[in-house]
Amino acid sequence: MEQRFIDWLVSEVGVDPRNDVGIGDDAAVMRPPAGRRTVLCTDMLCEGVHFPASPGYDPRAVGRKAIAVNLSDVAAMAGRPESAVVSVALPRRGGQHVGEHLLAGMLEEARRFGVALVGGDTTSWDGPLVVNVAMLGSVVPGRVWRRDGAREGDVLLVTGACGGSLLGRHLAVQPRVTEARLIAEMVTVHAAIDISDGLALDLSRMLEASGCAAEVDLALIPIHPDAVAAAEAEPTKGTACDRALGDGEDFELLLSLAPAEAEKLLAAHEHGTLAGWPGTSLTEIGRVVAGRGMVGIAEDGSRSVLPPRGYLHAFN
């Protein structure tokens, strides 16, 4: 029964001292952190789209991912995640088990990043599992990373490596919250976006919003070993580099910043002077130029139009 589940949930989650009213009321009430702006985002995960269809999914991993993808959005604004509300449509059969493991995964990921679960909504139905998280964060005014601030002359950096996430990494998302905080504290970033649908597609979104173009050094793109493995397994579906550009669900950060700032950041990263940096790689992959669109530059210097490959939700 929903009430029993809710009671259990309330006892599991507890009350966070930052909040006046936590889980269990019509809404949560929080004290906004002094001197900061409010960040709000939301992401929905659907069975068979964002995780395998039953019985192929692990509800605990789904729970972790539901929180992690929102953490990634908050990180992409240079925000500090604060609290989250969760909606779930649970299957009528087995919903108790799914719900408990889902929540366990969400709590695990939320606690890892200091996020309080403050409320939610539970439905049971005969449809697929759907999980939605909305996350509240905060950010220092004037230090918000928008996606539309890239400027001609900027350098493009990417955290981690891309491609092949479908081999399993897409269910073990590592949100770059700490990396974002450390970067924002050290340098000025003109634009940022998290790579959810594909490096090329998300870069094109940043460029379109900013009214600029980019040159991408294809040989510099950090290719994840999973992209290599996926390309070897299905060579007809593109090279490892193609996969790094278009697979998506990487949840890495793509940043655009002035050359001097990029140099400063890369030097600190290389010399290990970014205290608390989790060991994530940081790679310069190209630069912002005037115009529209993207050009890929191969190792031999040859240039080709880089299409905005990635995952698009098609409907008609």
> For residues 56-95, which are near a second copy according to CB under 8 A?
72-74, 76-77, 79, 83, 85-95
- Pairing label, strands 80-91, 253-257: unpaired
Give, as one character, the DSSP assignment of residue 162. B
Residues β-bridged to residue 131: 45, 88
* Nearest-approach distance from CB 156 to a second copy, in angstroms: 17
Per-position x/- string for 148-187, each x denoting binding to a second copy as judged by CB under 8 A, each - no binding? x---------------------------------------
Our CB check for a second copy shows the closer of 180 and 231 to be 180
Question: Are the C-beta atoms of residues 162 and 250 closer than 8 Å to each other?
Answer: yes
Tokens of 145: 């990373």
Binding residues among 7-26 for a second copy as defined by CB under 8 A: 20-21, 24-26
Shortest separation between residue 154's beta carbon and a second copy, angstroms: 17
Q: Which of 9, 13, 16, 39 binds a second copy (CB under 8 A)?
A: 39
Residue type, 30: M
Q: Does 42 bind a second copy (CB under 8 A)?
A: yes
Q: Based on CB atoms, which residue is closest to a second copy, 209 or 297?
A: 209
Tell the smallest beta-carbon distance from residue 223 to a second copy (Å). Answer: 24
Closest by CA to 121, choosing from 5, 213, 200, is 5
Cis omega (within 30 of 0) on the bond before 55? Answer: yes
Q: How far is the CB of 131 from a second copy (least distance, A)?
A: 9
CA distances to 43, 126, 175, 265 from 112, in Å = 19, 33, 11, 25
When the beta carbons of 2 and 12 are compared against a second copy, the nearer one is: 2
Side chain identity, residue 235: P
Q: Which residue, 170 or 227, has its beta carbon nearer to a second copy?
A: 170
Subset of residues 103 to 142 that bind a second copy, contact rule: CB under 8 A: 118-128, 130, 132, 134-137, 139, 141
Structure tokens at 235: 């060579």
Of residues 189 through 208, those in contact with a second copy by CB under 8 A are: 192-194
Provide, rounded to whole angstroms, the least separation between the CB of residue 70 and a second copy: 9
Evaluate whether 37 touches 146 at the Cβ level (below 8 Å): no
Judged by beta carbon, residue 89 or residue 240, the one nearer a second copy is 89
Instruction: Please give the distance of CA 77 from its chain centroid, rounded to a whole number.
Output: 11
DSSP letter at 165 equals G
